[in-house]
Amino acid sequence: MKKKIVSLLLVGVLTMSAFAGCGKKETAKDDAADATDESGANAMYVSDDENTLTAAAWDANFNIPALKAAEKAFQKENPDFKLELIEQPDSKAIENAVTTAAQAKDYSNLPDIVLFQDHYIQQYVTNYPDAWVSIDDAGVDWSDIGEEKASFSTIDGKHYGFPVDNGTVIFAYRTDILEECGYTMDDVTGITWDKFIEIGEQVYNKTGKYLLSMDGDGNDLPYMMLQAEGASQFKGGKANLADNKTLEQILDVIERMQQKNVLLLANDWSGYTNDIQKDAVAGVMNGNWIIPTIEQVAENSGKWEITSMPTLSGEEGYASNGGSSLYITANSKKADLAKKFLAYTFGGGKGAVDTYDNALRDGGVITTCISAGKSEVYQEGVEYFNGQAIYAKIVEMGSHVKVVEQSDYHYTAREKVAAAITNIHNGTPVKDALATAQEELAFAMEE
């Protein structure tokens, strides 16, 4: 039995007592809202009311406002509709609940809809196909959804998920610092990583600021750089680290950036965000969800702008990092209503503009629906980013992100490559560091 199945079985056993017997179909909303496990997870349930759907999600400041915006948009044509939100402390609470239900072969404790991380859903659909409802008949125009985003929730040719947030990578620069060093945004757009290093050296020598930073513990940098090249850490379902020429080039770039004081690798996530907010860096590259972190420094308002990533060849680079989508569970007796609601809102239907305009205003959620990104709200300039219409630009950039092979072991690969970066910096040759990472990742995937 594969290691991932064993792990999920263990999670199911450990969490069974927390979810068993809670929030079944007949459970009243008030009672269910009061039922929590030790992690703070709220019990999940479905409603008897024919016009009410229940949805489990996390993050009161991000995902929850987006779901509330969708409810209001759908109610304009369906005034009796109601969405009951079951807020969870994190994504793990939902993953555990699905695991528990699937191992017990009893989905009665699940809500109609769950929010799920994009990098995990393929594992759960593959292992527990009976837990989900296919949405191929929901009437979604998939050409209006960023291809890369839709690829996460497409398994064996079937669509399962409605997108929520756009994880498109931005490269944000301090324009005042670039100008001080004799550069403009045009000088950092559509350039090679070699040219970026050249500019970064000048910026550091003149200002003492790094042109790029990253959390060295949970290092997303090589993943984003690889995707911009159309390459992956996986091939044919197997680890693809050793003898991956593109990855070798990227890790060489990362090492040279460190040596020349162009890249600052923090010890952990807290250090990474502190470096941004303490003005240690003149550039930030990550999923666009990093924007609120950048905006925490009020005195830098008007000094930032965003653009695409450098690449090895010098073409404009596009990648995505992070994000979640919504899925209908097998427990839903109102799957048709759920499909109609989600297609109308997050799926790019008539209510998509209202949904995403308000989701952006209230929680910062950015659409992956290309048409919704053309609204007046998205075209508005953002004062903090020098009046640049960053949200329209993010949606446009997201439409260019290349689809690369994904894996259930995305986060394991991230850890192994992060370790390789550290080893290379300490003197290990790139090929040797990647050979070790390959061996360790392959072992984790096959055990």
- State the angle between helix axes of 221-228 and 410-425 in degrees (0 to 180), rounded to the nearest 10: 100
Residues 206/174, Cβ–Cβ less than 8 Å: no
| C-alpha of 417 from chain center | 19
Per CATH, 3-167+322-374 and 169-319+402-446 having the same topology is answered yes
Annotated domain spans of the chain: 3-167+322-374, 169-319+402-446
Residues 110/101, Cβ–Cβ less than 8 Å: yes
Across residues 240-247, what is the average pLDDT? 96
Would the pLDDT of 230 be above 50?
yes
pLDDT attached to residue 322: 84
pLDDT attached to residue 72: 98
pLDDT band at 405 (very low <50, low <70, confident <90, very high): very high
| Alpha-carbon distances, residue 203 vs 89, 182, 318 (angstroms) | 41, 9, 24
Across residues 28-38, what is the average pLDDT? 52
How many whole angstroms separate alpha carbon 91 and alpha carbon 98?
A: 11
Q: What is the pLDDT of residues 143-156, one digit of tens each?
A: 999 899 999 999 99
Residues 50/350, Cβ–Cβ less than 8 Å: no
How many whole angstroms separate alpha carbon 240 and alpha carbon 437?
A: 10
Would the pLDDT of 277 be above 80?
yes
User: Residue 265: what are its φ and ψ, rounded to 5°?
Assistant: -95, 110
String of DSSP letters for 229-259: TT--SEETTEE--TT-HHHHHHHHHHHHHHH
First to last CA, the chain: 8
Residues with Cβ < 8 Å from 149, sequence gap 6 or more?
A: 118, 163, 166, 167, 320, 323, 325, 368, 398, 401
Residue range 169-319+402-446 in CATH 3.40.50.620: no
Across residues 38-65, what is the average pLDDT? 91
pLDDT band at 22 (very low <50, low <70, confident <90, very high): very low
Would the pLDDT of 365 be above 60?
yes
Would the pLDDT of 14 be above 60?
no
Lowest mean pLDDT segment, chosen from 9-13, 91-95, 314-318: 9-13
Across residues 63-72, what is the average pLDDT? 97
Other beta carbons within 10 Å of 30 = 7
Would the pLDDT of 24 be above 70?
no
Q: What is the pLDDT of residues 312-348, one digit of tens each?
A: 999 999 999 988 999 999 999 999 999 999 999 999 9
Residues with Cβ < 8 Å from 68, sequence gap 6 or more?
A: 83, 85, 362
What CATH fold (topology level) applies to the domain 3-167+322-374? D-Maltodextrin-Binding Protein; domain 2 (3.40.190)
In the numeric block, which tokens belong to residue 360? 């952006």
Q: What is the pLDDT of residues 220-229, one digit of tens each?
A: 999 999 999 9
Across residues 193-218, what is the average pLDDT? 95
Average pLDDT, the chain: 90
